[in-house]
Structure 1
Amino acid sequence: MFIVLIDYTAPVEEVDYLLADHAKWLDRHFGAGEFLAAGRRAPHSGCVIVTRPMPQVKLEAVLAANPIVQRRLAQFRIIEFNATRTAPELRLVNEALVV
């Protein structure tokens, strides 16, 4: 699994112009089952995405297609982790624990 930290490199006002495109991008990847959770960071300096396990190179390509990243208004950091414990309602999405 991955946690992705997206950091804005431009003022939020500039990023806001692309939020509709960003939302469509998110919808596409939630629909494909790749993303598990996403939301704004507090304070609003970027966002966080939790993903299913996938090859990191695939995730990097997905993130590079984010309209905010493409316009160089944000950059991303990827943190890979193996969830060894999850709440019962998350067991089905944690492929590391599925037996």
Structure 2
Amino acid sequence: MFVLELTYTQPIERVEELLDAHVAWLDAGYAAGTLIASGRKNPRDGGVLLAVGADRQEMERLTAADPFVTGGVCAYRITEFTATRTAPALEPYREQI
């Protein structure tokens, strides 16, 4: 499992211009089963996504396609972790060590 943390690198007004395209990108990630949660950080200086995938390279490809990245308004930090415990609803994502 991966935590994808994005931080805005441009003013929020520029981010807002790309928001519809970013939401469409999120929708595609949910439809593909790659994204399982997402939302804005508070304060609103970026966002956090939970994702599942085969490896870090897949996450790098995913984040590189985000309109926020292609539009030059954010940078991602990708953190991989092993989800050995989950809430019951997330049991399909539980991993073994």
- Give the unaligned 5+ runs of structure 2: none
Q: Does structure 1 conserve the Cα–Cα contact (< 8 Å) formed by 2:83 and 2:93? A: no
Deviation of residue 19 (structure 1)?
A: 0.4
Deviating 4+ runs (over 4 angstroms)? none
Q: Find the counterpart in structure 2 of residue 75 from structure 1.
A: 75
In structure 2, the residue corresponding to 1:53 is in which secondary structure?
A: coil
In structure 2, the residue corresponding to 1:72 is in which secondary structure?
A: coil
| RMSD of aligned residue pairs (Cα, Å) | 1.0
Percent of aligned pairs sharing the same letter: 39
Q: Find the counterpart in structure 1 of residue 23 from structure 2.
A: 23
Matches within 5 A, 1:1-99: 1-94=1-94, 96-97=95-96
- Deviation string for 1:5-33 (max 9, x for gaps)? 00000011110010000000000010000
User: Matched residues in 2 for 1:89 and 1:57: separation?
Assistant: 27
Normalising to structure 2: TM-score of the pair? 0.94
Deviation of residue 54 (structure 1)?
A: 2.1
In structure 1, the residue corresponding to 2:78 is in which secondary structure?
A: strand
In structure 2, the residue corresponding to 1:75 is in which secondary structure?
A: strand
Deviation of residue 71 (structure 1)?
A: 1.5
After the TM superposition, which of the residue ranges 84-93 and 38-47 deviates more from structure 2? Answer: 84-93
Normalising to structure 1: TM-score of the pair? 0.92
The number of residues matched between the two structures is 96
- Give the unaligned 5+ runs of structure 1: none
